[in-house]
Chains A and B, each alone.
Chain A
């Protein structure tokens, strides 16, 4: 057990899990039942995609457009799976579980542990994936039941805690100038593209940068 890794897993799980309250409330506000809202967290289990479904459909969009937007936002999980599969070496039902908890957070903590070796990376993936799953679903239910009691997540600082949590996860990977240049280019490009593309696409688009950067260089 790597203690530093465990602390990181728990910190991420709480910061992100708490956001489940906001999702629970958003689901109810958009007209979904408590059961439907909780099922979205249990089965879809991808924050951005879930907000897309309730956002699009709450605004009167069709199921198809909700699913399409959610999928667009979820494509990056496929790319994370490509990175995690060789590390985790899972088969059978474990592969199903690993796939279900392949999210920004579990992948982020895993790659953040690279200096500590593959065992720490694996621990980071499982602990964070399960931690976020449990807390995200618990707080979704709480949010769905209590709806607006908590108020705006901004007043709790969650709006900054989540990007700060991700920044902290990639940070150890940004020691080299090469990785730092890639990170800054990706960050700027995604921000610049945001007003001109549907949500989710600007982030996936930066995978192209990774391809360009990785094609010839040492890294």
Chain B
């Protein structure tokens, strides 16, 4: 079996093991008030971090480009209480326009 196949199968097994283990933790450890609070806050922190990394970095470097404009337009759309798909599409349009005409 060559390296590429080992990579494909190994990554698949690793990812499934990581995912499934989250479901194996007995609920009793997750239900005390402190764990409940932390458990609610973790996705908020991780997804916010993801937004930052996807908007302002590329390949491990800080980068300011059309993505910033797109996400700022999304932020404005959210403040104006626009429907969700409008938020996503307005970001895409802004970024695409700047990318094509810059």
Contact = CB atoms under 8 A, between A and B. Distances in A.
Contacts of A40: 8, 11-12
Interface in A94-134: 95-96, 98-100, 102, 104, 107-108, 111
B78 A171 contact: yes
B33 to A, nearest CB: 10
Given A32-B8, A45-B15, A157-B99, A170 B69 contact: no
B92 A111 contact: no
B14 to A, nearest CB: 5
Give the secondary structure class of A's interface. Answer: helix
A15 B31 contact: no
B88 A44 contact: no
Contacts of B9: 43
Contacts of A195: 57, 60-62
Give the secondary structure class of B's interface. Answer: helix
A34 interface: no
B80 interface: no
A7 B85 contact: yes
A157 B38 contact: no
Interface string B26-57: 01001100100111111111111111111111
Given A15-B88, A188-B52, A67 B7 contact: yes
A117 B93 CA distance: 33
Contacts of B7: 53, 57, 63, 66-67
A74 B95 contact: no
Interface in A151-207: 154-171, 173-174, 179, 182-184, 186-191, 194-195, 199, 202-207
A187 B51 contact: yes
A29 to B, nearest CB: 13
Interface string B65-89: 0110111011100100001110111
B42 A82 contact: yes
A53 B5 CA distance: 11
On chain B, which size bracket covers the interface?
35 or more
A32 B11 CA distance: 14
A128 B57 CA distance: 26
B3 A78 contact: no
Q: Of residues A40, A99, A173, which shows the largest number of chain B Cβ atoms within 10 Å of its Cβ?
A: A99
Contact of B22 (A50, A63, A84, A211): A84
A85 interface: yes
Nearest to A217: B37
Interface in B1-22: 3-12, 14-16, 18-22
Nearest to A91: B23
A63 B6 contact: yes
Contacts of B39: 82-83, 214
Interface of A: 4, 7-8, 10-12, 15, 31-33, 36, 39-40, 43-46, 49-50, 53, 57, 62-64, 66-67, 70-71, 74-86, 90, 95-96, 98-100, 102, 104, 107-108, 111, 154-171, 173-174, 179, 182-184, 186-191, 194-195, 199, 202-207, 209-211, 213-215, 217, 219
